[in-house]
Structure 1
């Protein structure tokens, strides 16, 4: 699966970063950066958690292209 970000929708709350700090982080400007977009196994579980906690639904998981 692949983590996809709707950047205009992201408000930088950081809840996703708390759920999956090894996959994404907020930069110094408060912008979300996806460090690892392609996920599977345990990383996929953390990615699902990050998607689930986003209050503005800026993240989603999609099938790999």
Structure 2
């Protein structure tokens, strides 16, 4: 598999925390309510959880670039 890069559109993010619930090692909603991606180039071992997290985003703010 090719390397992935995570991106998000901050203007679309509603900080629901769905991404964090599926991949807490990758995503975190900070105390200020802003999404933080801990590693925008996560290891392939996280791919399945990240794909679920991206699909669960209610606003479509998250994306995986290959």
- Tell me the TM-score normalized by structure 2: 0.88
Instruction: Report what 2:29 is aligned to.
Output: 26
Higher mean alpha-carbon deviation, 41-50 vs 15-24, is at: 41-50
Gaps of 5+ in 1: none
Question: Counting helix residues as a fraction of each chain, which structure ranks higher?
Answer: 1
User: Matched residue pairs, number?
Assistant: 63
- Tell me the TM-score normalized by structure 1: 0.90
Structure 1 residue ranges, 4+ long, deviating more than 3 angstroms after superposition: none
Gaps of 5+ in 2: none
